[in-house]
Amino acid sequence: MPKSGNPSTGTTPADFAPTQWNIIYLLMTVGALVAALSISIQPLLLDKIFGIAFEKEGAVNADIQVVAEIVSIVCVGWFGLLSDRIGRVRIIATGFLIAVAGAATSLLSLQMGLAFGAAGLVLFYLTRVLLTVGADTVQLQLSTLVGDVSSRANRPRLMGNLVFMMVFGGTMLSAIIMQMADYKGGVFIIMCLPLLIGIAGFQMTRKTLRDVAKPQQAATGDEHPLRQVWTVITSDPRLQLAFAAAFYTRADVIILSLFFSLWCISVSDLVGVTRTYATAHAAVMIGLLGLAVLAAIPLWRSFIERHSRISAIGASLSLAAVGYIWLGMFANPFNWMVALPLLMVGIGHAGCFVTLQVLTVDVSPKPILGAMVGAGYLVGGLGTVMLVQSGGYYFDALGPRAPFILMGTGKMLVTLYAAWLLANGIDETCDHHLKSTRKVDWKPLVFLTAALPFVWLIGRSVIEGYISNGSLGEAPVGFVNRYLGDWAFTFLIISLSMRPVQEITGIKTLAKYRRMIGLFAFFYAVLHVLAYVTLEWALNLGDMASDIYKRPFILLGLAAFILLIPLAFTSANSQIKKIGGKRWKKLHSATYVINALVALHFILAANHENGEPYVYAAAVIVLLWYRFYQWRGGDVLRALRIG
């Protein structure tokens, strides 16, 4: 069991020995290295060992990363809450043990892949889950430990050093080690390294690290820590901006490591190089990105000490956005000029990441620091899930550059939110306190987030010059239609889930955003229908009738859309007063029927190469069961505890 300070008093910051700082920096380096190696080697393993078909590589790589991130969000977020009660060091040691288990399983999955091909993927999924949970736990808790011991005066320097070591391990060291992939036995050596690193990290943590925060400083009182986290975030617009930026920033290295490697592998035959060489080349380019991050950290550290953190986030996000969009304009990943946009992304990533770390710790109350850092990780994890999944979909349907356009346009939108805050006089004083105590409504941020799928689709078309040619260019009509339909259904489910979440968490302000989410569902549904009647059938009623006769499930979607129209047009407050509250509620109860119809429409319409339609349908079933159970007077939370 890891040693820690006295349970009742803890180790004070003054007692935090310089040797412990060295250990923290070293552990952050190796933790980032474990995460980077597992991501960098994945495309090559799936291609050479598991034999995944090229046309499915984007989706399969994305699915594995998404599954790992979803499990990690749950586990690492819970670890963040737990660390406020039992200390950070025990959790760090646990993270290394989880990584060791994942590394050991990876060697077995390698043998399974060699023997059974794609049939061995199940074990590989488990491998990636364990490695991701372990590495993310280590990095998050080390950041929280530095937050415990640092002060407002030295925090930019200490956090900057920590990010420096994380990037050094996650990009520079991993880029060097990945060069072994092109040599005989190199892949096996790369897969063995996380096992050795994890064992060494556990031993160092157990023998040298000490906790600083007192266990009794954990959240106390009747209010749940998650409710306290919500209160802190909603009371400070800087945190709202920081969490919106975290949605994109945490995904940077994963998106680039995964999809740039896939891009290089996908064109390797065309340029006459081996796929192992393509993987090594991608690692070199990611290493250059890491160099940019390392070089920029001291500059950004000085910037955020002297200027507003809001300005720092806006400037860094805009720089990274331009880099991503520029990268998406290249046709050949082996063109060494791609280093220039990668350098821009690296510089922007450095500024945003350091600022987010410093700002979160500055604003967070000490008793819930672990929970606050965990909340930031949760938002970043959700962003990673959404961006990687969408990126894989884009990669297969639109081409290998599409994920980078997606990242660039999204970062631009968050930059607009930072500009909106500054334009409304929401900024910091010279000592980094808010100039105004004015609370900011989340509606602009919710609106920008909900508009992202539309911006991604249009942004790609504008950047590639497709709209000027009168078409959506490389985007297949089927992709556009399916894409818009998916997002319409996604927002329908989010709207349906907001009331249960509100009732379970007690966060009543969520009700303010249900109408906006519902209207965005209608917006994407309208686009979905328009894409069908114009892009697919060019308003030819005869052809549409023939298609509906061949595919009658289209009638289910049409029925759902017709039911959705009156709900959208009666969503305004004036309509509620005109219709009457009771009648309005009865009318809007049609949303349950709409979700059921769309779920059935999705199942019958989609290709069943994966379980996505059934995942959506399962979500609808759970939410409908919840509402039915509440109508019957049941207590869902108590029922779950009894079960």
DSSP string, 337-391: GGHHHHHHHHHHHHHHHHHHHHHHHHHS-GGGHHHHHHHHHHHHHHHHHHHHHHH
Who wins on pLDDT, 536 or 35? 35
Q: What is the mean pLDDT of residues 63-68?
A: 76
- Residue 471: its pLDDT value, please? 38
Q: What is the mean pLDDT of residues 264-268?
A: 86
Q: Is residue 344 pLDDT above 90, yes or no?
A: yes
Q: What is the mean pLDDT of residues 278-282?
A: 85
CA nearest to 115, candidates 127, 103, 124 = 124
CA nearest to 455, candidates 483, 490, 424, 426 = 483
Q: What is the mean pLDDT of residues 361-387?
A: 79
- Residue 638: its pLDDT value, please? 52
pLDDT > 90 in the chain, percent: 10
- Please report how the helices 477-505 and 612-631 are oriented relative to each other, as an axis angle in degrees rounded to 10: 30
Token digits for 214?
Answer: 């007192």
Taking the C-alpha atoms of residue 309 and residue 363, their distance in angstroms, rounded to an integer, is 12
Who wins on pLDDT, 451 or 223? 451
Q: What does the pLDDT look like over 544-574, one tens digit per residue?
A: 788 778 888 888 888 988 988 888 888 877 7
Least trusted range by pLDDT, from 236-240, 300-304, 314-318, 462-466? 462-466
Q: What does the pLDDT look like over 572-606, one tens digit per residue?
A: 777 777 787 778 777 778 888 888 888 888 888 76
Taking the C-alpha atoms of residue 497 and residue 591, their distance in angstroms, rounded to an integer, is 11
- Residue 59: its pLDDT value, please? 65
* Beta pairing partners, 434: 428
Token digits for 150?
Answer: 């640092």
Taking the C-alpha atoms of residue 209 and residue 24, their distance in angstroms, rounded to an integer, is 8
Burial 329-344, CB ≥16 within 10 A → b, else e: ebeebbeeebbebbbb
Burial 623-635, CB ≥16 within 10 A → b, else e: bbebbeeeeeeee
